[in-house]
Amino acid sequence: MSRDTMSPIRDAVRTFNKHVLNPLMLRAAGRKHWYASVIAHEGRCSGRRYATPVVAEKVPGGFLVPLPYGTDVDWLRNTQVAGSATITSKGETYDVAGPTVVDASAVAGLLPSGRRRAFQRFGIDHFARFALASDHVAREKDR
């Protein structure tokens, strides 16, 4: 099935998740023994603080967050405008910065094989890559 055919289905799932599933997921997301993480970010127009459940894979120097609904999602746009966010994963909270969208093939080698296969099965083409804020600041100073 082509991506164009899946678009209305993905939009319906995204809307359901945003209004029904995400509020429920936030109760467990970010906890030590739960698969989902929480990304805390500031609204780019409202300045309001938001928390969104995501799957965040810790990789050397930061995190990869799969983008199953594409790159046009509010939490990603908010973090790109702000340049930073906070990710709580496995009971630990990390300041992250420098969000970029990367092609799945470019970061596949950083993921555990089981996760990589799962993301491929779900048709994940892109990831948001976040650097740990301390690493991002150090790289900026070196420029």
CATH topology of domain 3-142: Pnp Oxidase; Chain A (2.30.110)
Residue 31, pLDDT score: 95
Contact 130, 99 (CB under 8 A): yes
Q: Between 106 and 6, name the one with better pLDDT.
A: 106
Residue 121 pLDDT > 50, yes or no?
A: yes
Residue 49, pLDDT score: 96
Residue 18, pLDDT score: 80
Residue 4 pLDDT > 50, yes or no?
A: no
Q: What is the pLDDT of residues 45-55, one digit of tens each?
A: 999 999 999 99
What mean pLDDT do residues 26-37 have? 94
Cα(first)–Cα(last) distance of the chain, in Å?
45
Residue 9, pLDDT score: 79
Residue 81 has what DSSP assignment?
H
- Stated as kind and residue range, the H or E segment containing 128 is strand 126-132
Q: Helix %, strand %, coil % for the chain, to 5?
A: 40, 30, 30
34 Cβ neighbours under 8 A, 6+ residues apart: 28
6 Cβ neighbours under 8 A, 6+ residues apart: 123
The pTM of the whole model exceeds 0.95: no
Residue 6, pLDDT score: 55
Residue 98 pLDDT > 70, yes or no?
A: yes
> What's the token pair of residue 104?
């799945």
